[in-house]
A and B are shown apart, each in its own frame.
Chain A
């Protein structure tokens, strides 16, 4: 005997939007969390003087990592480049936005599940959360635009892609609400 418990009458738009929101939400929670960690780790471990020590590239480590001496030295220059390109305000701003983004992305997983189950509050909550995620993208975009070419090259493409995805989710949720209203 099978109990009730699943709403099998949800419209296709809610099912598809919900699953896409969940998939992107899972990925974005990881992306934003990693970004927050990046900012904290780089700031915390940069030498106070800003002068990086010589690269330490023992042969056994190079073999294990599968990298050349040149790449080993570049790893230091790369981190230094990122740190030097960031204005003083950038790491804390980026970490804060990423942490809020990670929280919203996690909520979007729950909202996605609610959409799939077509709970009464799902579409309204989806509009709010997707708006929040798009706003985070816009704020990150604005922050990165106000840095230099190095960070713009690193971040802008990815942020723009996420903004477009969140815009599509938002428009999908708004269209779903309109469909609900006219039904």
Chain B
């Protein structure tokens, strides 16, 4: 027997992911405006480490979400509520969001891995170095991280627009992801 809506764990993970993604965007715009690090100026240390902590955690969350969604699949949407093209667009947007979140996290980690700063996840688990500091590689992955992040923001805007569209139609589709 299938439920109409998503599994409650999937709902909680989805909204946790949403808040984290927006926090990472907003905090990154602010932290990039902080003074460059020097022995006397360490404004960037905490926000950058927090950014990495949340980014790495997002990878775990997204795999958990994928697992829960695949294990507890909700009933398909009533075909009278969505045209086949809308349904295809919805699937494409979801796949892109998952892919881009992973890509943002991986490119961010790769950029960080090529700096002289170590990664200590939530200030307790030290990640082994996977690369020596390399300014060129840091820049390459950093730029990729930025572009993928912009793409993610664009796709999230499409996703949010879709949710609002269905809320205005009051067709019950958004309710699938809002089960508390």
Contact = CB atoms under 8 A, between A and B. Distances in A.
Interface of A: 1-8, 10-12, 15-16, 18-20, 22-23, 26-27, 29-31, 33-34, 37-38, 41-42, 44-45, 47, 52-53, 55-58, 60-61, 63-65, 72, 75-76, 78-79, 106, 109-110, 112-114, 116-117, 119
4 tightest Cβ-Cβ pairs between the two chains A and B: A19-B167, A56-B38, A30-B22, A113-B178
Contact of B26 (A10, A34, A41, A75): A34
Contact of B168 (A16, A60, A76, A119): A16
B35 to A, nearest CB: 5
B25 interface: yes
Given A16-B168, A23-B160, A75-B34, 4 more contacts: A3-B3, A26-B18, A30-B23, A116-B175
A30 B54 CA distance: 13
A91 to B, nearest CB: 14
B142 A5 contact: no
A27 B2 contact: no
Interface string B26-44: 1100101111111011110
Interface of B: 1-5, 11, 15, 18-19, 22-23, 25-27, 30, 32-38, 40-43, 45-47, 50, 75, 135, 138-139, 142, 160, 163-164, 167-168, 170, 172, 174-176, 178-180
B26 A57 contact: no
B50 A110 contact: no
Contacts of A114: 180
B142 to A, nearest CB: 7
B170 A12 contact: yes
B139 to A, nearest CB: 5
B4 A30 contact: no
B43 A64 contact: no
Interface centre among A4, A31, A33, A41 (most CB of B within 10 A): A41
Nearest to B4: A6
A171 to B, nearest CB: 18
Contacts, number: 140
Contacts of A72: 35-36
Given A33-B23, A64-B142, A106-B19, A23 B164 contact: yes
B46 A41 contact: yes
A147 B108 CA distance: 37
A116 B11 CA distance: 14
A20 B164 CA distance: 8
Contacts of A29: 19, 22-23
Contacts of A19: 163-164, 167, 174
Contacts of B5: 5-6
Contact of B179 (A5, A12, A15, A47): A5
B170 to A, nearest CB: 4
A75 B178 contact: no
A60 B30 contact: no
Contact of B23 (A22, A34, A45, A109): A34
Contact of B43 (A45, A109, A110): A45
B19 A65 contact: no
A5 B36 contact: no
Contacts of A6: 4-5, 172, 175-176, 179
B178 A53 contact: no
Contacts of B168: 12, 15-16
